[in-house]
């Protein structure tokens, strides 16, 4: 219950920060959406969102300028991250389509299993990106390792924020309203604060 309570606190703080800087976060999210329309620009745009969101967690409002700085600074790593996740998305989509249209007796159960795996993958990537921006060494390999550790060490802490982020992503695809336009920035804040909360709890002596 304590981890769930911490998860709720993460969501509340993320929403508060997002709301206080709402206009900037809307612009950042709009820029993210526009650059993502190129497909190849999705990952760099997302890294830019995380970069300015990290500033916001420290009380610094860099907005669109911070977003563009992040896009340029992390271009190489973001393109690699995007390629790997595009491959994963293609695999999940194909296997879901295949078993959803299969007459195989176990197909419905496999659809459920693959859906759970896909959701777990999304949450892992969501947390790993936050680790990438919070760790001293900017390494995707280390970020994936740290994200895995966070996910399996304190799954309940990650559960609610992760499900909320996944829900925001689905709603963003389905509906086009101001809240959803700003959801990429809100999702980034949730991920960063979730990992910060985990780090603080794991290393209390390093925090005043």
The mean pLDDT value for 159-180 works out to 64
Domain annotation covers residue 165: yes
Domain range enclosing 8: 2-198
Alpha-carbon distance of 33 to 16, in angstroms, equals 22
> Which SS3 state, helix, strand or coil, does residue 139 take?
coil
Q: What's the pLDDT band for 39 if we cut at 50, 70, 90? A: confident
Domain annotation covers residue 205: no
Domain annotation covers residue 174: yes
The mean pLDDT value for 32-54 works out to 92
* pLDDT tens per residue, range 86-110: 999 999 999 999 998 888 888 889 9
Q: Which of 7-11, 118-122, 146-150, 195-199 is the most confident on average?
A: 146-150
Query: How many domains does the chain fold into?
Result: 1
Domain annotation covers residue 206: no
Is residue 55 a contact partner of residue 188, using CB atoms and an 8 Å limit?
no
Is residue 35 a contact partner of residue 67, using CB atoms and an 8 Å limit?
no
Task: Determine the pLDDT at residue 171.
Answer: 67
Q: What's the pLDDT band for 44 if we cut at 50, 70, 90? A: very high
Alpha-carbon distance of 62 to 53, in angstroms, equals 9
Is residue 172 a contact partner of residue 30, using CB atoms and an 8 Å limit?
no
Let me know the angle formed at the C-alpha of 128 by 127 and 134, rounded to the nearest 5 degrees: 95
Domain annotation covers residue 182: yes
Domain annotation covers residue 168: yes
Domain annotation covers residue 131: yes
Q: For residue 111, what are its two tokens?
A: 């659809």
Domain annotation covers residue 203: no
Higher pLDDT: 81 or 173? It is: 81
Position 10 pLDDT exceeds 80: yes
Instruction: Say what percent of the chain tops pLDDT 70.
Output: 86
């Amino acid at each position: 219950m304590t981890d769930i309570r911490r998860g709720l606190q993460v969501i509340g703080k993320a929403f508060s920060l997002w709301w206080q800087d709402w206009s900037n976060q809307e612009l950042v999210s709009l820029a993210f959406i526009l650059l993502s329309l190129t497909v190849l620009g999705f990952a760099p745009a997302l890294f830019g969102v995380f970069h300015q969101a990290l500033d916001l967690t420290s009380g610094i409002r860099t907005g669109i300028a911070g977003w563009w700085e992040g896009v340029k600074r992390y271009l190489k790593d973001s393109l690699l991250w995007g390629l790997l996740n595009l491959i994963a998305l293609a695999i999940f989509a194909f296997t879901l389509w295949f078993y959803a249209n299969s007459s195989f007796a176990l197909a419905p159960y496999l659809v459920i299993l693959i859906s759970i795996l896909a959701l777990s993958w999304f949450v892992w990537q969501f947390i790993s990106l936050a680790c990438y921006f919070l760790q001293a060494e900017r390494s995707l390999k280390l970020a994936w390792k740290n994200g895995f550790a966070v996910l399996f060490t304190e799954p309940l802490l990650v559960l609610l924020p992760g499900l909320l982020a996944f829900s925001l992503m689905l709603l963003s695809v389905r509906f086009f309203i101001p809240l959803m336009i700003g959801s990429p920035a809100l999702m980034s804040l949730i991920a960063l604060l979730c990992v910060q909360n985990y780090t603080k709890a794991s290393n209390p002596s390093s925090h005043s």
